[in-house]
Amino acid sequence: MPTNRRQFVKRTALGGTVGISSVIAGCMGGDDDTELQVGIVDPLTEPVSLFEIDEIADAVGENMGSEYDLTVNAAEGSPQVINQLSAGELQIGNVAYASFPQSISQEAVPGGLTGIVTEARDAHPDYKPWEILTLEDSDISEPEDLEGAEFGVNAVGTGVHAICELGLEEFGLDPDEDVEWVEIEFPAIGSALRDGRIDAGIFVPIFAHAEEAEGGVELVFDSTDVWDEQYDFTFLAARNEFLDGNEDVVEYFLEDYVNLLEYIYDDDNRDDVVSLVSEEFDIPEDLLDLYYLTEEDFYRPQDGRLDIPRLQEVVDRLVESEFIDEGITVDDHVTNEYLP
């Protein structure tokens, strides 16, 4: 059982957003049920990464160091996190709206998974969505002009890719025939666009803001053209084999997580949070200040609650569009019961 809050987070090489490509293997797989191994993908999208910052953890981690230890591990994408959950290397991990139902229907994780808390919602009308950008001087002035384009995406088969595919279909294009998909890590999509290696690409808020600040890019379409209502794009899920008998540990963790959300969204704390995040993840402070934790960022409900009926609608559409092969009954695999 942990005894000191300062010891509760075991450091992994999260680094900056450009350096979250590996998991530190030696920090995983502890036998103690109070040692939570949590897998993430993007530290700036996923607030759980902020527990890595001592000043923030000390302010919000009421249960850390007494009820559980926490290790935050970074992976390249949600599919990799699901693989680690399947191997028992993680108790809790990041999943996306597209990878989660596939992991359930394919029984990818022994015993299954349960979604327990939202991390970020996309397509909120008042917040920044995913954006597909091109160069101002390109031949692409509207979505239909993407026919024949080389399209940059982080990985084919992901929820990000689903936004692109569904968007193309919305504008009458065939995503299998009319574009060439080019897989590029998020930090490199902007340079690939400017170097002419792709004609358009999809951008997470931080990189959209960076490119827009530099100038010379324009919007082709965004995820609000695809989804007419907000939905839980990414959330944390726990292995059912861990949940069984460890409900109290998860509840302690989520109590601290909600404390974290309330703290970072308090206007009185924002300047300090931005400064600390800039230092921790080696991101320019002026870039973070443009968007981080504002309406220029993804929307994050401060109570952490998942919109289960809406997630069902989203999964059903993925099935109808044949992006995934089989749907699930979301209510059987997602719950808000562990939240305070």
Q: Is the confidence at residue 120, as pLDDT, over 80? A: yes
Higher per-residue pLDDT: 27 or 233 = 233
Label residue 55 left, alpha or beta by phi (over 0 means left) and psi (-120 to 50 means alpha): alpha
Same domain assignment for residues 190 and 113: no
Same domain assignment for residues 20 and 112: yes
Which of 166, 190, 225 is where one domain is finished?
Answer: 225
pLDDT digit string, tens, across residues 282-307: 999 999 999 999 999 999 999 999 99
pLDDT digit string, tens, across residues 201-222: 999 999 999 999 999 999 999 9
Same domain assignment for residues 204 and 55: no
Q: Is the confidence at residue 26, as pLDDT, over 70? A: no
Angle formed at CA 237 by CA 231 and CA 239, multiple of 5 degrees: 155
Spell out a b/e string for 271-295, using b for 16 or more CB atoms within 10 Å of the CB, else e. eebbebbbebbebeeebbebbbbee
Q: Is the confidence at residue 141, as pLDDT, over 70? A: yes
Give the torsion sign (CA, 318, 313, 85, 259): positive
What integer best gives the mean pLDDT of the chain?
91
Mean pLDDT of 331-337: 99
Has residue 265 been placed in a domain?
A: yes
Same domain assignment for residues 204 and 183: yes
Has residue 293 been placed in a domain?
A: yes
Same domain assignment for residues 180 and 215: yes
Closest CA to 296 of 209, 185, 217, 193: 209
CATH number of domain containing 273: 3.40.190.10
Give the strand order in the sheet containing 231-239: 9-10, 69-74, 35-40, 92-96, 231-239, 113-122
Has residue 93 been placed in a domain?
A: yes
Same domain assignment for residues 256 and 108: yes
Which of 190, 225, 260 is where one domain is finished?
Answer: 225
Q: Is 44 exposed, middle or buried (0-12, 13-18, 19+ CB in 10 A)?
A: buried
- Specify the pTM: 0.89
Same domain assignment for residues 110 and 252: yes
Q: Is 142 exposed, middle or buried (0-12, 13-18, 19+ CB in 10 A)?
A: exposed
Same domain assignment for residues 116 and 138: no
Q: Which two tokens stand for residue 54?
A: 């001592």
* Domain range for 195: 131-225
Same domain assignment for residues 234 and 220: no
Has residue 337 been placed in a domain?
A: no
| Spacing of C-alpha 29 from chain mean position | 23
Same domain assignment for residues 153 and 35: no
Q: Is 4 exposed, middle or buried (0-12, 13-18, 19+ CB in 10 A)?
A: exposed
> How high is the pLDDT of residue 32?
55
Has residue 193 been placed in a domain?
A: yes
Closest CA to 46 of 85, 65, 74: 74
> How high is the pLDDT of residue 79?
83
pLDDT digit string, tens, across residues 55-100: 999 999 999 999 999 999 998 788 889 999 999 999 999 999 999 9
pLDDT digit string, tens, across residues 179-199: 999 999 999 999 999 999 999
Which of 202, 225, 248 is where one domain is finished?
Answer: 225
pLDDT digit string, tens, across residues 216-246: 999 999 999 999 999 999 999 999 999 999 9
The domain total for the chain is: 2
Same domain assignment for residues 177 and 286: no
Same domain assignment for residues 186 and 100: no
Q: What percent of the chain has pLDDT over 70?
A: 90
Has residue 313 been placed in a domain?
A: yes
Has residue 338 been placed in a domain?
A: no
